[in-house]
Structure 1
Amino acid sequence: MNYRNPRSAVRLGMLPAGIAIALAPAFAGAQEQADQSATTLDRIEVTGSRIRGADMETQQPIITIGREQLQQQGFVSVADVLQNLTSAGSPAIARGEVLASGENVGGYYVDLRNLGAQRTLVLVNGKRLGATTGGLQDLSQIPMSAIDRIEVLKDGASAIYGSDAIAGVVNVITRKRFEGAEANAYFGQYGEGDGDKQTYDFTIGAVGDRGGVTASVEYSKEDPVWAKDRWYSASGNAGPKYPGSGWSVVSQNGSFCNPAVYDCTKSSAVWMTYDGSGDPTDPANYRPHAAGDRANSNEQMMAQTAIERRSVFVNANYDIVDNVTFNADMLYNHRSTLQQVAGYPYQSQAFGTPLSGESAFNPFGHDIEFRRRLWEVPRTTNSELETYRFAGGFNGYFEMAGRTFDWDVGAMMNRNNLTKFGHGDMSLLASPLALGPSFINADGVAQCGTAANPIPLGTNLGSGECLPWNPLLPYGVDGAGSLSDPALQAFLFPYYADTGRTTTTSYTANLAGSLFELPAGELGFAVGVEHREEDGRFVPDAFNQSGMSTGLPATTTQGAYSLDEVYLELNIPVLSDLPFAKELTFNVASRYSDYSNFGDTTNSKFGFTWRPLDELLVRGTYAEGFRAPTIDNLYGGVGGSFESYTDPCGSTSSGNVAGNAACTSAGVSPTYVQLGQGGAVCTTFPCQTGYQFLSGSNPNLTPETAESQTMGIVWSPRWVQGLDFSLDWYKVTIENVISSDSVDDILGDCYRLGISARCEGIVRDPASGVIKFMQYGLTNKGAVETEGYDFGVKYRLPETAFGKFSFDWQNSYVSYYRIKADDAPDTDWTNYTSRGPNFRLRSNLGVNWEMGAFAAKWTTRYYSGMSEACTRAAECTDPLYSSPDTNAPGKVYPLREVGGNAFHDLQVSWKAPWNATVAIGANNVTDHQGPIMFSAPNNQFPYYGGFDIGRFYYLKYQQRF
């Protein structure tokens, strides 16, 4: 693989990220089994190859999930189905990550091998699905009712499809030439009585002598689940075992610090809260702020966001002549996602907005600092995404020199229009006025300004109006200046609107056939060209861009690039019908890509298929891959966030290095204790800061490079009919990884590893030692490598008097998943196997039964144990854990480990005589609860974001006409 950058003469090393081998359709598992009815002996193009032929399917490590398998599951989206493949990684932007922001929130993304959703390419009928500026491809755009089957290639395929096909390829193939009509209704609900899901769809099709039209319309709605209603989040982010632990000192009760008496920046300062007994302007009516006054922000948080979708998909095709067909796909999708998080934890010190000594609500005659969570106005974001997609073209075949050649030309346009409406962040133009001088006017009403120079009462800030605010009144306490006043809310809390648009346009031409006959068969080939353009922008509201609100600051992302590509693929049969060589075939492919923004790259792939016996298949691949930087990677703006991290210099944090040379040179005392929001001492880790940090893009990024290797066998012993085995090994290495630098990585490099260059962006308060500011961004750094095995067994029993039984057992075992930092030696990898969501083993066991009109399916989904750094000594299962993979040999890192988890699903169905099917089922039928994970992997709460959050019942009805 060659790569040249016109801005630099540096040659990039080869780098994998193509991911390894998938199971043959005949041997896929409960969620991965093949739809045999979809296979024909015509010239077909399968995912992973452009050469058409019935034998190509056996050469590819492909999982095919047919329509029947989709209907046997209790899920309402493509991503939910794919998330339960054993090879699937942790969900990208899980619905429990309610604090996630930006244009990607609300989408459904698939991540193979935990290599990142942006490294799995998604196709619709062989053409790219449009992506966000961050490179994520939203599978929720595709209505389930329009899908015929899903093909999943778990192998690097950049030589065939170009950028992003590192971990694998998902190809969603829609229904064509459907005749008749079909209606479906789905309703489900958690056992707790919440999280309602409903989907209604209708498909109609007509087929004529030369063509057909198929149209699917779908409506889907998923209600939110609230954190206060789940065991893992109701009592706070330390879990039910530690109720109240880690609650925020910035609470809805409000509190103040008198700077005339205390240094309010110190954790030793005394903060006072109104006791509700009398005049709030009388200092005697205040008491010390106590632990019981703290805020459990989870009481106002969604545990899962709400989503509503409306989709229309139409396919039309027409045979212009016998060997030329016109085909067109049209998609419209509208997705609405609602998020709610707790009211903002306002701290006057952070914004320089004390309660003025001249305020009518101030108990003293001088400025005072205060804290107040804005409980009355929770922060909400409603993301509205509209997708328009058209893909059309001509395809056909022709004869030449006694051979058949297939061709196609086409164009595709995919556009996403996004509007995000936000509310609940306070205006920093209005709050200084509301907290400034005020007085009680002649009508007994609090008014901004002074009696000599009053400011008109009203909510129109732009017209010079103002309403005063009393932040010392607790939530639920009425009075002048109370935040419960709708007029005051209107003055302080404007509505914000972010907008975005991404457009993908491509033009393609392909030719495939055979060149000549070899002794073992025909030499097949495919060749093609593609021109693609990516254009995108995301524009935050002007208030957000200016930083004049309590919301996270952000700037505009805008950019575009184009590329031209050409590829060649050859399928070379070498041996056939010989002893120990029933088949030996080589497949080679190479793709040249020329990008307008970084240069060109060539990626190649080599594969083989060897069948020593009729019942035994051996195959393997070596593939090069790459992922080009996205628009957001290169041209994204700067954004702010309140990060959660563990300070290595904090003397109470796990694995700390307090008092070492790097910490003391930064002026940090060996007894320093990490401080969180409101300057409170952190008791759980990672701990959220009360200061905004900034992160952004990098215009100098270069592509990731990848190598993937696979080797596998598929065996169907002749002496046991219906029994199939598969065993596949894979190894994927990604180098030059584009990743967002993290606060923990920077702090670890600076203070643990002593890399002085990594300390430059860390700003600490010289008095308290707390980190007040950091700015960091994307970078090409280090490598990611993973290796593992897929093992599957499928057994189809002969039909009995009790019906038909079949068993599917599929496993994905990870030997290691590790990451290496920049410039680290090859021996200095950090192992993340079993850490958080990087499961050592995932296993699915499916049992199917059919008898007449009745059918049942039982599925067990198993996840092996998880581990995390200890945050509490009482929770440590291995307090003396030390390993070379921690990048600090000999250093003890206390470890907490939890056991494996199994979730069981059941569905029972009946085919009614009036051409209908009724199904009832339950996901997580045993109501299993996963373990508390204080590190909150893929979640805002102390629970893995990919686990079931309760028993979910559902009912499905299908009527065919």
Structure 2
Amino acid sequence: MKFTAKKTAIAAVVAANMFALPNIALAQQDDANEAEAKDVELILVTGSFVRRSENFESPSPLAVVDSVSIDAIGAKNIADITQTLTINTGAENNPDAFTQNATAGTSNINLRGLGVASTLVLLNSRRQVVNAQQTNEGLNFVDTSSLVPMIAIDRVEIIKDGASALYGSDAVAGVVNFITKRNYDGVKITADYQDGAHGDNSEYILQGLWGASSDRGNVMAAISYTDRSPLFLSDRRLSRPQDDSSNLGNPGSYFGVPGIPAGVPVIDPTGCAEFGGNANIAATVPYPGFGSLDLGTCQFDFGPGYSYVPEESRINAYVKSNYELTDTITWVTEFGLARNRAERGGAPSFPNLRGPIVPATHPDNPFGTAVQFLGRAEGNGFEADPANTESETFRFNTALTGEMDNGFWEISYTNAKNEFLFRVEDVLNTEFNLALSGFGGANCDPSSPAAVAGQGPCEYFNPFATSFTTSPNSQYVIDSFSADQVIDSEAKLQVLEGFASFDVFEMDGGFAGLAVGLQYREEELSQDYDQLSNQDSFSFVIGNPDFSDSLDVWAAFAEMALPVNDQLDIQLALRYENYGGSIGDTVDPKLAFNYRFTDDFSLRGSISTSFRAPSIFMRNGGATSLQQLTDPVVGGNAFAAVRTAGNTELTPEESTAYNFGFSFEPIDDLSVEIDYWNFEFEDLIIQESAQALLNSNPTDTSRIVRAGDPLTGPVLQVNNTYVNASSLETNGLDIVSSYKIETEVGTFTPNLSATYILAYDLNDPQAGQIDGAGRRNFTNIGVSSPELRANLGLTWTNDIYSANLFARYVSSYDDDQNCSDGTIRTGSCGNLGLKEIDSHVTYDAQFNVDLGALLNTETNYLLTVGGINLTDENPPQVFTNSGFDSKVHDPRGRQLYVRLAVEF
């Protein structure tokens, strides 16, 4: 596939407007001039299976980002590209334990804030296997960090309206197609180093690209290696201690103290604040033997051990070959392999949610009676235990493409697999209780008649603050109740598809094209938990049964391209998909048009329906995630377990999308594009919001698990599932504009790209009707949705030099977790209103020099220096875990980088 002059010019305008980058207009104009000198070719672009002539303009809103643009923003990985897109809302590219509990080291795309599983991600127009480990919301997504080495990418094409009529399920919000270089011949090596302003956070990336051509084919290979050092909350504390505090600490609190009302916790009388805890005292009461007791909890600040950025290493390799078997048949084969490792920080140990009992016989029990421990095994003064992820992705694709007299055909087969291993340490419930009873230790056999509590190989674990002074715990007893939860997940994908595209009849604007095709795909997902997890042995992550299931999908599709006349192009598409079983089948159409009133003004519009089936995990899986929740009963934040079970009764979600826009060039070199988009969902598949469940019925004992009193005690766990919500509707405007100014000192191009969300209306099963635009949506099923995101830039090019300076703006939005006075929202904030999350502006800059041309060498050397967030702006503070909104803002602060690219 090649861009012709017309299409290349369109791509240049869109890319420049989206990213405010240097070299774009100049580089694309050179491509355009070169294309004009060649024979006209038909082209195949994302969003169509019919090749079009050079005067074709896509009726769907299409954004194109080329390799020059990617280099110019200083992108080290694909997440660096997508997070600058104003149309990308709520993606999870800044991993931490609170938003990406088990998916550290991954990245994804979330067009329009409709979910990371609602954007179809393609590589060279082929489907990709999803990540085997799901998000906290139970969504399996394509991990873009495992896709392909950045150096091999030629461009990214993005369809910004619904595309299920062409590509099927998962394309409800649009399509992002990563397209690799074609017929590359030569060698290219790049080295990047980036250093952050805080902590030891830095990264370096080495990449290589090689390609060779013959008379009948080409082979290309690419490899990349990334090493990233972590950034901990202790390096740059954005949160307040209370934002990262748990009521379950060590020192801890106790239920069941005689004379104290049931369900009321008593802070450890042997110590709290003096050992690093925060005494959250509700009342102080006189008590015999102690003088007085403090009622409340000894809170633990777990924040410093967690990481904003995990420690990561990545190896990504890719090989592509094409060979002309005959003059009309070409064979293309691709191999891809990615190996990612990540380690994120954590707490010394998780809260114990099982309510362990300290017996009256415990030698350090100051109460003289059995009490229930509200805390964790290790807290203040202990090293944090990390969580580790290992991801390996393999992809293979082979395809035959043949030319016909009036068209072409293609048959392809894809086989891909992702293996994902997640490992985290937790406390074993039975072994911990044995240790509290004096039978702790690997060599202690409590069933033996010779076993005596606290003697020989059998030891007590001391949960009281005296463990910091007179009665310390041995590592021997701690090791006896500590173990790793291991989740070994695997996702597989096989796709066999074929289609043919050909001319059918002539119209005033050219030949009408027809494409028809068939597709079969098989998706498999399995999760193998360790044996202890199968037995629900852990005290916080609890456990889960293994599961394995598959999904077979048959599809047939057709598309017609109708060049009615020189002014009007119409696209018609229809796709049938059959999932079988209770999911059933669907037929989804699409109608789109482009009308050129003049050479300077054109209108485009589209309307389509979409269908997204419930995933294998949502129907059959289950998981426990860690989330911060606001407890309306206790009146504070709680770091609790959210245990989600699959729902086999789910039905598919359906949606309708339409887009209407125009392109306008009022004067030479000034372009303006505006699109209005609208998505309407019914039966939306969502994970029930744990916060919404708490808010709607905080004393529902079937859903809410509390410590001590089941109605009034601190929340430990929320049980939820997946449901079909009523509806979601979102709409807004995309605006892109650029103006090229030629001067004696170079070419200047000011440009703008912006997305304004007009509505993000939710009908949440628990939270009710929600106006989610301009809101964080913490208490419902939505994602953070600032109303306005904009990039304003200025690029400059002059011979061998180029530079850019641009500002990225995110508007303020409301935090529905907190009231405006900073207090936690447990109901309505009344006249106070919600707390506002401040607007945010960051400034990036880059300078490039062609050293090869400067030094007059045969080898090309390009030196790049740049900075991201040059003024080191803090992300707006949010009173939540980690202190910022990880789905909107970047916690790293200023990042300076240098890149040297050598090509010969």
TM-score (norm 1): 0.81
SS in 2 for 1:117: coil
SS in 2 for 1:295: strand
Q: Does 1:713 align with 2:656?
A: no
Please, which of 655, 659, 672 is the counterpart of residue 725 of structure 1? 672
Aligned positions of 1:463-502 closer than 5 A: 466-473=458-465, 477=468, 481-482=472-473, 485-502=474-491
8 Å contact 2:687–2:722 — kept in the other structure?
yes
8 Å contact 1:360–1:438 — kept in the other structure?
no
8 Å contact 1:448–1:456 — kept in the other structure?
no
Distance 1:117 1:550, change over 3 A: same
Distance 1:774 1:801, change over 3 A: closer
Aligned positions of 1:556-705 closer than 5 A: 556-576=546-566, 583-597=567-581, 598-637=583-622, 639-641=623-625, 643-646=627-630, 650=632, 674-675=633-634, 682-683=635-636, 687-688=637-638, 692-705=641-654
- Is there any run of 5+ residues in structure 1 with no aligned partner, and where? 1-22, 239-245, 278-282, 441-445, 459-463, 577-582, 651-673, 676-681, 883-890
- 1:655 aligns to what? none
SS in 2 for 1:957: strand
Q: Partner letter of residue 802 of structure 2?
A: A
- 2:504 aligns to what? 515
- 1:853 aligns to what? 800
1:245-271 CA deviation, whole Å, 9 max, x = no partner?
x74343344555672453463146774
Distance 1:179 1:447, change over 3 A: closer
SS in 2 for 1:228: coil
2:825, 2:724 → 1: CA distance? Answer: 34
Q: How far did residue 132 of structure 1 move?
A: 3.2
- 1:539 aligns to what? 528
8 Å contact 1:253–1:474 — kept in the other structure?
no
2:885, 2:59 → 1: CA distance? Answer: 40
- 1:525 aligns to what? 514
Q: Does 1:814 align with 2:761?
A: no
Q: How far did residue 833 of structure 1 move?
A: 0.7
Q: How far did residue 211 of structure 1 move?
A: 0.7
2:274, 2:73 → 1: CA distance? Answer: 55
- 2:779 aligns to what? none
SS in 1 for 2:19: coil
Q: How far did residue 453 of structure 1 move?
A: 3.1
8 Å contact 2:83–2:93 — kept in the other structure?
no
Q: Partner letter of residue 228 of structure 2?
A: E
2:220, 2:483 → 1: CA distance? Answer: 45
1:617, 1:38 → 2: CA distance? Answer: 24
1:124, 1:255 → 2: CA distance? Answer: 54
Q: How far did residue 629 of structure 1 move?
A: 1.1
1:800-836 CA deviation, whole Å, 9 max, x = no partner?
2211211221111111111124599xxx842111102
Q: How far did residue 584 of structure 1 move?
A: 0.9
Q: Partner letter of residue 48 of structure 2?
A: S
Higher mean Cα deviation, 412-421 or 325-334?
412-421
- 1:374 aligns to what? 378
1:84-133 CA deviation, whole Å, 9 max, x = no partner?
1111102236313446334x443210011111111100000001111135
SS in 2 for 1:390: strand
Higher mean Cα deviation, 814-823 or 623-632?
814-823
1:408, 1:450 → 2: CA distance? Answer: 68
Distance 1:767 1:27, change over 3 A: closer
Q: Does 1:31 align with 2:11?
A: no
- 1:18 aligns to what? none
Please, which of 845, 854, 872 is the counterpart of residue 906 of structure 1? 845
Distance 1:871 1:97, change over 3 A: same
Q: Partner letter of residue 410 of structure 2?
A: D
Q: How far did residue 855 of structure 1 move?
A: 1.3
- 2:282 aligns to what? none
Q: How far did residue 902 of structure 1 move?
A: 0.8
- 1:897 aligns to what? 836
- 1:71 aligns to what? 71
- 2:279 aligns to what? none
Q: How far did residue 747 of structure 1 move?
A: 4.6
Distance 1:636 1:451, change over 3 A: closer
2:731, 2:337 → 1: CA distance? Answer: 40
Q: How far did residue 157 of structure 1 move?
A: 0.7
1:642, 1:222 → 2: CA distance? Answer: 25
- 1:179 aligns to what? 185
- 1:946 aligns to what? 888
Q: Does 1:790 align with 2:734?
A: yes
SS in 1 for 2:357: coil
8 Å contact 1:257–1:270 — kept in the other structure?
no
Q: Does 1:831 align with 2:771?
A: yes
8 Å contact 1:273–1:289 — kept in the other structure?
no
1:555, 1:958 → 2: CA distance? Answer: 50
Q: Partner letter of residue 836 of structure 2?
A: E
Q: How far did residue 877 of structure 1 move?
A: 14
Please, which of 193, 198, 203 is the counterpart of residue 197 of structure 1? 203
8 Å contact 1:397–1:407 — kept in the other structure?
yes
- 1:11 aligns to what? none
1:266, 1:699 → 2: CA distance? Answer: 39
2:358, 2:714 → 1: CA distance? Answer: 24
8 Å contact 2:79–2:107 — kept in the other structure?
yes
SS in 1 for 2:555: strand
1:623, 1:450 → 2: CA distance? Answer: 67
Q: Partner letter of residue 550 of structure 1?
A: S
Q: Partner letter of residue 910 of structure 1?
A: V
SS in 2 for 1:494: strand
SS in 2 for 1:172: strand
Q: How far did residue 366 of structure 1 move?
A: 3.8
8 Å contact 1:257–1:271 — kept in the other structure?
no
Aligned positions of 1:35-184 closer than 5 A: 36=28, 41-53=40-52, 54-92=54-92, 94-98=94-98, 100-102=100-102, 104-132=103-131, 134-141=139-146, 142-184=148-190
Q: How far did residue 601 of structure 1 move?
A: 0.6
Q: How far did residue 451 of structure 1 move?
A: 12
Distance 1:432 1:878, change over 3 A: closer
8 Å contact 1:256–1:272 — kept in the other structure?
no
- 1:775 aligns to what? 719
Distance 1:541 1:587, change over 3 A: same
8 Å contact 1:254–1:474 — kept in the other structure?
no
Please, which of 386, 389, 407 is the counterpart of residue 383 of structure 1? 389
Q: Partner letter of residue 146 of structure 1?
A: A
SS in 2 for 1:744: helix
Q: Does 1:336 align with 2:366?
A: no
1:859-916 CA deviation, whole Å, 9 max, x = no partner?
211111111237356348999999xxxxxxxx76722224421111111111112421
Q: How far did residue 625 of structure 1 move?
A: 0.9
1:695-752 CA deviation, whole Å, 9 max, x = no partner?
21111211111111111110123xx32111111111111111000111333355559x
Distance 1:99 1:521, change over 3 A: closer
Please, which of 794, 800, 803 is the counterpart of residue 746 of structure 2? 803
- Is there any run of 5+ residues in structure 2 with no aligned partner, and where? 1-9, 133-138, 276-287, 777-783
8 Å contact 1:575–1:584 — kept in the other structure?
yes
Distance 1:393 1:449, change over 3 A: closer
2:591, 2:274 → 1: CA distance? Answer: 76
8 Å contact 2:318–2:336 — kept in the other structure?
yes
- Alpha-carbon RMSD: 3.5
Q: Partner letter of residue 916 of structure 1?
A: Y
8 Å contact 1:834–1:867 — kept in the other structure?
yes
8 Å contact 1:223–1:305 — kept in the other structure?
yes
Q: Does 1:454 align with 2:457?
A: no
Aligned positions of 1:121-520 closer than 5 A: 121-132=120-131, 134-141=139-146, 142-233=148-239, 235-238=240-243, 247-254=245-252, 259-263=257-261, 265-267=263-265, 271-273=269-271, 294-347=299-352, 350-363=353-366, 365-370=368-373, 371-372=375-376, 374-375=378-379, 376=382, 378-399=384-405, 404-423=406-425, 425-437=426-438, 453-454=450-451, 466-473=458-465, 477=468, 481-482=472-473, 485-520=474-509
Aligned residues: 842
